[in-house]
Amino acid sequence: MGELVVLAEQLLAPVPGGTGRYTAELLRALAETVPDGWTLSSAVAGHRDVEPARVEGVRGPRRLPLPGKALVAAWQYGLPLWPGGTAVHAPTPLAPPRAGRGRTLSVTVHDTVPWTHPETLTPRGVAWHRSMITRAAARADALVVPTHAVARELAAYVPGAEGARVICHGVTALPDPVPMELPPRYVLAIGTLEPRKGIDVLVRAMTGLDEPLLLAGQPGWGGLDPLRLAAEAGLRDGQVRVLGRLTDAELATVLRGASVLAAPSLAEGFGLPVLEAMSAGVPVVHSDAPALAEVAGGAGRPVPRGDATALGASLREVLGSPATAKTLAEAGRARAAAFSWRAAAEAVWTIHTTSSLDPVRPESPGS
């Protein structure tokens, strides 16, 4: 009998972000695909309230004997605190230092931003991610990455990362929409409001467009103020609207009502909003960040990173041409159909259930 323990700490983070979505969706899919002879549990730091980390079909979460910040420090400095089970999957680089005899450890690395765009993170964040990812490459039984773009970049920066396994994310099944007061037409961006998301570029790109810009996501680090950016860009009052963190039902409503999704990130490891928009039949304009281009697979409209003029022109074209919007929407739906959380979960199970841990590199859909 084996037990896979998934670290669900990101579900309790103040700003769960895309890694929170990944953790929750992967846990649900793992619960639906438990192999014979295995059980599935989760573990978190010693939080008082762990209810947000509970997932149907998953035992736990098990509380570890350290609070959140202490656990982060303990594992960073090598304390061999094993969270239980015969196997552990860490959905982020927060992971125990090694597995030990008879155990397996897999760690997901979502992007290479700490190396490629360190200026978009805090110095402490850069140092922590670099040290934890480098150690995972040396000691974990498997590194998991969401795209071939991340696999290539990681191999260039981290010794031992050449055998990373590409396991793509899936498409989240959003619930039915709920009543919300929304404009009849609007540009939508989804994600944590922080420097690497390219929000400043997107705000400038809205100059000359009649449609408003809706931003769905919590503020992250960096003190990004979209309303101040809008005023500096000369946009009219109310043209930029910050929605904050949304429930899944609210997200479904906002997403399905969008005229176009803009994804202007400077760097990404995957780009879940791109896939979610495509699945909902919303045309997508995205930056040429390698991971976004890989996920879109030609079904979106790419523009150079940081180029507000090009971004504005592409948004204007999609908004002004029903034929273009329809073509992109149809291509997006077909592209999104190639991704599933079930496939991701089965690939993670394979890491821990196979006797051989030789590198396996499943291709991403359409690559």
Q: The pTM is what?
A: 0.89
Instruction: Render pLDDT for 298-332 as a digit per residue (tens, 0 to 9).
Output: 999 999 999 999 999 999 999 999 999 999 999 99
Instruction: Render pLDDT for 5-38 as a digit per residue (tens, 0 to 9).
Output: 999 999 999 877 889 999 999 999 999 999 999 9
**Residues 17 and 163 placed together within one structural domain of the fold:** yes
**Residues 38 and 150 placed together within one structural domain of the fold:** yes
Sheet holding 104-108, edge to edge: 59-63, 38-44, 2-7, 87-90, 104-108, 142-145, 165-166
**Cβ-based neighbours of 262, under 8 Å, separated by 6 or more:** 187, 188, 189, 202, 205, 213, 285, 286, 311, 315
**Residues 325 and 346 placed together within one structural domain of the fold:** no
Residue 364 maps to a domain:
no
Please say if the pLDDT value at position 362 is more than 50.
no
**Residues 53 and 137 placed together within one structural domain of the fold:** yes
Helix runs in 8-112, H state only: 17-32, 68-76
**Residues 159 and 213 placed together within one structural domain of the fold:** no
CB 348 within 8 A of CB 26: yes
CATH of the domain at 19: 3.40.50.2000
Instruction: Render pLDDT for 184-207 as a digit per residue (tens, 0 to 9).
Output: 999 999 988 888 899 999 999 999
**Residues 259 and 344 placed together within one structural domain of the fold:** no
Average pLDDT, the chain: 93
Residue 240 is part of which domain span? 187-336
Q: What are phi and psi of 14, to 5 degrees?
A: -55, -35
Q: At what angle do helices 322-336 and 308-320 cross, to 10 degrees?
A: 100
Q: How far apart are CA 266 and CA 100, in angstroms?
A: 38
* pLDDT, greater one: 194 or 72: 72
pLDDT for position 311 = 98
Structural domains of the chain, count: 2
